[in-house]
């Protein structure tokens, strides 16, 4: 099993509905994201997935979130845009985008809202 990862980031604002504290107010984060995919085999040029391809996918997903109020996005209309839900969102979008890459699937998505706090989501 091969596990390939990239690190990326985005900046956005959000608030947590019904949160008993400061996070119920609009505030921003510079989110760090680690995307890890897995593959059981290598392709004809001996890579699981080209880093460039994975970075393009990540860039597409990050652009959906970057410099947005996450609460205004359809994806978070019925749930809070918490770190947990953000990691899940990125994972599900990643899964959609990887359908074009035979034998490559998401392993995990790590989302950090600060250098010392974050969430890792996997199925």
Rounded Cα gap, residues 93 and 90, in angstroms: 5
Domains of the chain: residue spans and CATH: 2-121 (3.30.479.10)
Q: What percent of the chain has pLDDT over 90?
A: 100
Q: What is the pTM of this model?
A: 0.95
Mean per-residue pLDDT, 79-89: 97
Residue 81, SS3 per DSSP: coil
Q: What is the mean pLDDT of the chain?
A: 97
Distances (CA, A) of 55 to 17, 97, 107: 32, 12, 15
Tens of pLDDT, residue by residue over 15-67, are 999 999 999 999 999 999 999 999 999 999 999 999 999 999 999 999 999 99
Closest by CA position to 48, among listed 90, 97, 98: 98
């Amino acid at each position: 099993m091969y596990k390939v990862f990239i690190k990326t980031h985005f900046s956005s604002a959000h608030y947590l509905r019904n949160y008993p504290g400061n996070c119920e107010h609009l505030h921003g984060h510079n989110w760090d994201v680690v995307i890890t995919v897995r593959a059981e085999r290598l392709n004809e040029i001996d890579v699981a997935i080209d880093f460039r391809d994975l970075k393009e996918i990540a860039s597409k997903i990050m652009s959906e979130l970057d410099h947005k109020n996450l609460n205004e996005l359809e994806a978070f209309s019925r749930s809070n845009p918490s770190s947990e839900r953000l990691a899940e969102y990125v994972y599900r979008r990643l899964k959609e985008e990887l359908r074009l890459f035979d034998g490559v699937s998401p392993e995990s998505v790590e989302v950090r809202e600060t250098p010392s706090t974050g969430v890792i989501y996997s199925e």
